[in-house]
Structures are given as C-alpha cells and as structure tokens.
Structure 1
Amino acid sequence: MIKNTLLPVAEFCQRRKNFIAQMPNNSIALIAAGKEVTRSNDTEYPFCQNKHFYYLTGFNEPDAILAIIKADDVAESVLFSREKDPLQEVWHGRRVGQNKAIKDYKFDNCFALADIEEQLIPLITGKTAVLICQNEQNDFQQQVLNWLSQIKQASRTGAKAPTTLIDCNNILDEMRLHKSNAELDIMRQVNVISGAAHQRAMQQSQAGKFEYQIEAELLHEFASNGARYPAYSSIVAGGDNANILHYTDNDEALKNGDLLLIDAGGELAGYAADITRTFPVNGKFSEPQSLIYQLVLDSQNLAIAAIKPGQTLAELNRIVCEFLTKGLYDLGILQGNLTILIAQRACKKYFIHGLGHWLGLDVHDVGDYHASAMREQLRPFADGMVLTIEPGIYIPSTDKSVDEKWRGIGVRIEDNIAITATGFENLTVNAPKTIADIEALMAD
C-alpha cells in the first residue's frame, strides 16, 4: 500500500512562481516556519510544520524563514534555516543545512539563521511593500516590525523602509484550495490508508473493549502504511458519546447494543483524510439504529450525487436538510406541519453542524466559502477542490421529546470528495458504509 508520497520539488518551485505572479512589484514576502512546542519539561510534541510555509517550500525544519522577492529585474526565493551543527545533530537529528537546501529544494539562496539580520535587512530595504501571513506567530510579526524599524532608523543614510504591510493569506488560501494532480494522488493514498484503518476498527470492535483500544488499532493501521500521525485527534465515541461532536476522551468501555462513531483520518506527506463511520459494537444494527443510519446514508448519497462544478454547499445543505426533515418526520421524531418543518429546517435540531468543509493540508482547510449574511456557503465548486460531505443525526439520551428507542443514537457518515471537470470523485473508496457491507465485514 505504501507508495512514494513526496511531491516533486518542481511542484514547490511552481507554487513559488505562482505566488510571485500575484505579489505587487517591488515587494518582499516573509513567511515563517513552525516552531517546536514543549510538551513537558525538555520534551516536545511531534513537530508540525506551518502549512503555508510547507506549501511553498516542502521544507520540514522548524524556525526557518522564507523570503520571496519580486522587483523589476528580480524574482527569487531565499531561505534562512538552521546551520549544520555536528553536536546538535548527534543529539537531535540531522539538519538540511544551507548547501543542501539550495541543491535539493531549489531555493535561489540560503543563509544561516544566525546571519538573518545581516542578509535579510538589505533585501527588505528599498521595497515598497512587505507581505506576511497575519495569523502567524505574534513573535514573528513583531520581528518583522522590528526589522522595519531598524530600516527607518537608518533613513538618514538613504535607507528606505517599506510603507505597506500586506496580509498574503488570501493569496495562499486561494492557491491551496485548488489541488494539483500530484496533491490529489496523495489524498487518494491517505484515504485508502484511512479506509483500511476504519475496516480494522470495525473488525476489532467488541463489547468490553475500551474506546482507546480501538483508537490504537486506527493508529497502528495509519503508521504501518506510512501515515505516521493522525491528521487530528481521533474521535472514538461509543453510545451516547457520539452525541458529543468533538469527543476525544476515548476512555469508556464499549457496550453491547451501542453504536460506535469513529471520526479519524491519517496524515500523509502533510495531507489529511477525514473519514467518519458509525457501526454497531456487536456487528448488528438494531431496527431503530438501522432506520436512523439509513436516513443519514441516503442523505449523504443524495448530496454526493449532486456534486459538480458550479454546485454550492448552500444548495447541498438545502437538499440534505429537506431530505432529513422529511425522514425524521416520517419516523415520528419531528412532529407538526411538514411544509412548515421543511421551511424551518427543523432537522437542524438533530443535524447540528455543517454539511462539509474544505480538505487538504489542514483538516478544516483554508479557502473562502463566500458565506452570505445568512451563513450560506455560496462558493461555486471548481475542478480540483476537495471537501468533506458529512451529514449526521444526533439524539442525546436526555432528549425526552422522542420515543425512548431513539435516545442515545448518534450517527455521522463522512467521505472526502474531489471536484472534477465533469462531476466528482469519491476518494473514500474502501471504508464500508452500507449496512450490509458493515455487517458482513464485522461477521468475518
């Protein structure tokens, strides 16, 4: 299952070229890498690179800074990174260093971080504008302001500081929203890995096991196939815990007769999968569980079938809400005048989150949804976008307004969908989701 998952260096070079094309003339963009985060005393959490920085560089060391310069006769990228240090490398691992950064990552130049003020301030001086990602670490934004202040203080010697500070998040968000063929190939792979993990979880599920034991099965399958880390904290929610949307305690015992909702995906080469499956702990749906489950599955299939370029999440939401409202009415969970219930989107009492979100280097990936004042997401779909489709119904055990047989049932089903030129591609190909397929797998 493991394939070469590294994007070609040429892809990162092309991204930098595309970014430069959208920069104003006589400007410099400064984008910082992530920092290591202390977990306890002198140990760190596994390093996670700043996604915008990674998108433009493919470089996975902390503390680095990327400078991209655009002027009349110059378009270049300069990296500032940790220098080679034999003692530090013995303790903490090998560093790329400056020469290898130029050779392997195709930067026009690379300097040690220790030389940043000497080398970077002249690059900033004389530029009209500085572009930064304004949601980056506050300390880096302050450092940029300090550099600008130093240049201003040298104005008597002829130094000219940039007069405009531009947030470049919009440029990078828009670039990241449209996936290349190479990106889509990685996302296909991480979906297959994650789908296999969901299969494993189904097969290992049984009453008496703890949620964290099933989580361990997911992590094993991810890492065994090259996705060393989960893309987000896995949700393994048995019974009524499924009605807590971001439940991550994962510490309760599984009970016979309960459903188990798992929202989990691996991360491969920085790209996330985000898959949810809900299935019976004992391998057999009860009648009330199957009725709710089939309603959610049918609504998801209806939404996915309607996906094509030009479609919107707002319209998919309308389709799903109408379908779920009627379905809940037919089951007796919603009562009243059906026409009024549909107009009021009464299903939102039990379908309490959005239908989907962009997916990519981040699980909730960047990209403008073109949301209206009514929070309708009006962005037309286009070839290369990837999103989740994840309807759900959540009936907490405390809901006394419904028959007792429905209480404590929580169901969500989530697939990852790529928009194509003519329709869609469902990347989530091997995670069973029909009742028959789930029960058959769990019976093996």
Structure 2
Amino acid sequence: MNQPTETPLAVPVAVYRERRERVLAAMRAAGGGVAVVPTAPEVLRNRDTDYPYRHDSYFYYLSGFTEPQAFVVLDADAGAGEPASILFCRTKNAEREIWEGFHFGPEAAREAFGFDAAFPIDNLDTEMPRLLANAPALHYGFGRSIELDEQVRRWLDAVRAQSRSGVVPPTSLVDITPTLDDMRLFKDAHEHAVMRRAAQISAEAHRRAMAVCRPGMREHELEAELLYTFRRRGAQAPAYGSIVAAGANACVLHYPAGNAALRDGELVLIDAACELDGYAADITRTFPANGRFSPAQRELYDIVHAAQQAAIDATRAGVPFEAPHDAAVRVLAQGLLDTGIIARERYSSADDVVAERAYTRFYMHRTGHWIGMDVHDCGDYRERGAARDANGALPWRTLRAAMTLTIEPGLYVRAAEDVPERYWDIGIRIEDDAIVTELGCELITRDVPVLADEIEALMRNA
C-alpha cells in the first residue's frame, strides 16, 4: 500500500532524556549493569500485509521513537566519554522510504531523540556482547518474549566464549519492568497535556454519537461516527476496540460493535476512546436510543451516576486504590435493594449485600484501573513488598498526586425471574478519566454530558 512521505513531528527531547537518566540512576543504585528495552515487532495480518504498527509502550516511554525494529540500550557503567544511552534502529534507505515514508536513520534519530549514540539495528548482535562484557547485571523484561530471551542467550553465549581472555558475562538478570512500571504510574506535565487532548477528542466523538443516534441505526454506524471523529481530530487510532452495545448487548461487558439495530425504548452503551501520541483515553456513556430515558432506565441510571459521584468524591491522594470502589459499591448495593432487584427478604441492609458480595451478580468488575500509554496501564495495584494481612493479601496501593485512573461503576441486569421485569436487559456504565490531586481529582473527560437531563437535552437539540 503506497504511503506519502511524512516529516517527523517535534519531539520533547528533554522529557525522554530525563526518563532515561532516572532509569540509569536506579540501575547504578542497584549495582550497575546494562538495560535492554526493545520495541514491538511488526505482525503479519495476512499474506504480505501487516497489522497497523504500534510501538511498545515501555520503549516509547524511554525514547519517543515510533519506528519498528529498534532497541533502547542503557549502560549504567559507561565511563567518561562513553555513551550511556544508545538507540539501535533501521538505517536510512531511500528505496524503502518510497514505499513506507520517512525513516530517521541512526544519526538523525540520535540527534532528534537525545541519545548519546545510535547504531544500525543490523549491528545489534555485534555491539551487545561488547556492551555486556564484564557488566555486573543485565536488566530486561525476561519472560515477555521468546524471541528476545533467545536473542539474549546468544549475546551471553558470545560473551562466555571470551572467558579465556578474562571476559565474564553478567552474573545476574534483573527484571526492569517494575522500575519502569513505578515511573509510568506517575504522569508528568507532558503526559497530562497529551491525555487531556485525547480526552477532549474522545468526548467530542461521544457527543457526535449521541447527536446522530436514532432508532433503526446499527451499532456499527455509531462506531463509524466515533472513528471518524478520532481521525478527523488528529488521533492516530482507537485506544481499544470500541464497544457499542444496544439493548441487552450492554450487559456483555466487552461486547464489540456489531450489526444489531438500535430499537426505540432501549439504551445504547458506548465504551470508546482514542489514542493520541501514544496515550489513551477511556470513556463510557449510556443513553437512550430515542433520546428519552424510560422511568426504569432513569432510575438505574441515577443510581450508577450517584455511585460514580461517590467514587469521585473518594478519589484523592492518600487513600487506598480501593477506596473509590468501596464507595461506589455501597451506593450500588443500596440502589439494588431500593429497586427490589436484590430482595430485602434475603438482605436487610446494604451492608449485608456488600458483605456477602451479592451485588457482583449485577456489578462484576472493579470501579477503575490505571490509564496512560495503555488503556489498562501498567503499575501494581497493591503495595509490592509490604506486610500481608491475616488473609495473606498485600495492602492496596495508596493513591498519589499525578497518578491517572478511570472511575467507571455500572449495573448490568439480565432478564431473570427473580428480577422485576421493568429492569430486564438494562446495562449501564458511566466512565471518566481522572488525574489524582492532593485534595481530590481532576476529571478530564467531562466534555461529554453525564447527567441524564443533559444527555436528553443534547439529543433533543441535535
């Protein structure tokens, strides 16, 4: 497929250089060594056509470089005048650029992305044994890729082959992933700015879907409106497979947009957002296909909205990650009792519903997850290395300022004899993205309405 030649975008070089320096400092504190972080491989879709390429998030976090066939190598033991941060990438190839567009090549990439040195990717197997010779440790994400593990083995064998010359291989392997996870968990100002823009684009797409929605449309038609807005506003791709679920399909948590018709009197659940410059948004809204909530739909919607507001109020620096979930669950449990979806004959209070986890039949996921470069971003949810409780569980991680997470309670009521019929096959989820602050959180996805009255007004005035 022919592609036009593109010029490279401006790169915030200092951002990536500072991240590499932080990793090098952590490696030195742990005794030194060499770190290796590859980007993602290209993947064949069928015959001679690849899937659209997407870089590895860890690699991009340290480099800002989006081309395939590339490695970041960090040498914590580099001496004065020796390169500590090295990029391996494809060489310039005029003929290849006719087909694929612009490629930096090592020299231009070194300058554009602030590396100390850059080499052709074809030199990797020659340079790595030299860099690993006498290094105390090798830092990489072992076990994540069979191909990389095999490549590392060949490098170490090449170093071992020099043993008679007094050269020794690294004596320890260190998983670099936890160090990078902890760094990525706290977003800097550059990341927050990109995420806010991704959220704005995604919110505009949701508003467009609400505005054009009419009974008789198909789920995939609404999906097309979302994808159109993502690309029109400059996002590179959806952040994940868009969920557009009409009627009972909304009770399927990861339902992909299909061919089902939007029927008068039913709800539509859309969970969709874009990826912009390597960062994801994640928004869910639920709205009536005809623009008007029925009394039963409005009743459940207001319960979910109240649960989300309780979770938002509980989201701030200094509280456990679980605090927003606990707050949402208490509201949902009370709502399930008040509506009769959970019978009071069995549970006398919301505390009983929570204690016996009876709500999980209608709310089976957690209220949030980390978000960033990956829509389900990296980072531990529990405190690694902390003392375990009486049940053997680690304590939940404490929220800190600059962390980013979703807040997304829901209710999913399938048709069942023990559930009031007016609530059958109603699935509702409301999801926003939040930046944790010292005193609360900043919601960055509220450019799309969330109150039921506001949703109806948007659809009525479209």
Which TM-score band applies after superposition, normalised by the shorter structure?
A: over 0.9
Residues 32, 136 of structure 1: 8 Å contact kept: no
Aligned to 1:28: 34
Aligned to 1:331: 339
Residues 317, 399 of structure 2: 8 Å contact kept: yes
Q: Offset of 1:6 from its aligned partner?
A: 5.9
Aligned to 1:423: 440
Residues 315, 323 of structure 2: 8 Å contact kept: no
Q: Offset of 1:321 from its aligned partner?
A: 1.4
Aligned to 1:136: 144
Amino acid at match of 2:434: I
Paired with 1:374 and 1:342, the residues of 2 have a C-alpha distance of 21
Identify which range, 133-142 or 191-200, moves more after superposition.
133-142
Paired with 2:22 and 2:273, the residues of 1 have a C-alpha distance of 30
Correspondence 1:155-170 to 2 at 5 A: 155-170=163-178
Amino acid at match of 1:8: P
**1:296 and 2:276 aligned:** no
Paired with 1:85 and 1:239, the residues of 2 have a C-alpha distance of 52
Structure 1's 72 and 113: CA in aligned 2 closer, same or farther, altered over 3 A? closer
Deviation readout 1:41-91 (Å, 9 max, x if unpaired)? 111111110000000000111111111001173561111111111111112
Amino acid at match of 1:388: T
Deviation readout 1:313-343 (Å, 9 max, x if unpaired)? 3222222212111111011111122242232
Structure 1's 20 and 114: CA in aligned 2 closer, same or farther, altered over 3 A? same
Q: Offset of 1:166 from its aligned partner?
A: 0.8
User: Pick from 384, 391, 408: which aligns with 2:425?
Assistant: 408
Q: Offset of 1:177 from its aligned partner?
A: 0.2
Paired with 1:425 and 1:376, the residues of 2 have a C-alpha distance of 28
Paired with 1:349 and 1:194, the residues of 2 have a C-alpha distance of 30
Percent of aligned pairs with the same amino acid: 39
Aligned to 1:15: 19
Q: Offset of 1:5 from its aligned partner?
A: 9.1
Identify which range, 117-126 or 366-375, moves more after superposition.
366-375
Residues 28, 67 of structure 1: 8 Å contact kept: yes
Count of residues in Structure 1 that have an aligned counterpart in Structure 2 = 440
Residues 198, 275 of structure 2: 8 Å contact kept: yes
Q: Offset of 1:377 from its aligned partner?
A: 6.7
Deviation readout 1:12-44 (Å, 9 max, x if unpaired)? 000000111111334000111111111111111
- Structure 1: 5+ residue stretches without partners: none
Identify which range, 164-173 or 241-250, moves more after superposition.
241-250
Aligned to 2:98: 90
Amino acid at match of 1:442: M
Amino acid at match of 1:391: P
- Structure 2: 5+ residue stretches without partners: 1-7
Structure 1's 280 and 5: CA in aligned 2 closer, same or farther, altered over 3 A? farther
Structure 1's 376 and 296: CA in aligned 2 closer, same or farther, altered over 3 A? farther
Identify which range, 40-49 or 110-119, moves more after superposition.
110-119
Residues 311, 323 of structure 2: 8 Å contact kept: no
**1:278 and 2:301 aligned:** no
- TM-score, length-normalised on structure 1? 0.96
- TM-score, length-normalised on structure 2? 0.92
Structure 1's 328 and 7: CA in aligned 2 closer, same or farther, altered over 3 A? farther
Amino acid at match of 2:374: D
Q: Offset of 1:374 from its aligned partner?
A: 7.8
Aligned to 1:230: 238
**1:118 and 2:126 aligned:** yes
Residues 7, 182 of structure 1: 8 Å contact kept: no
Identify which range, 189-198 or 25-34, moves more after superposition.
25-34
Cα RMSD for the two superposed structures: 1.7
Deviation readout 1:99-143 (Å, 9 max, x if unpaired)? 101111111111111222222221111101000012532201210
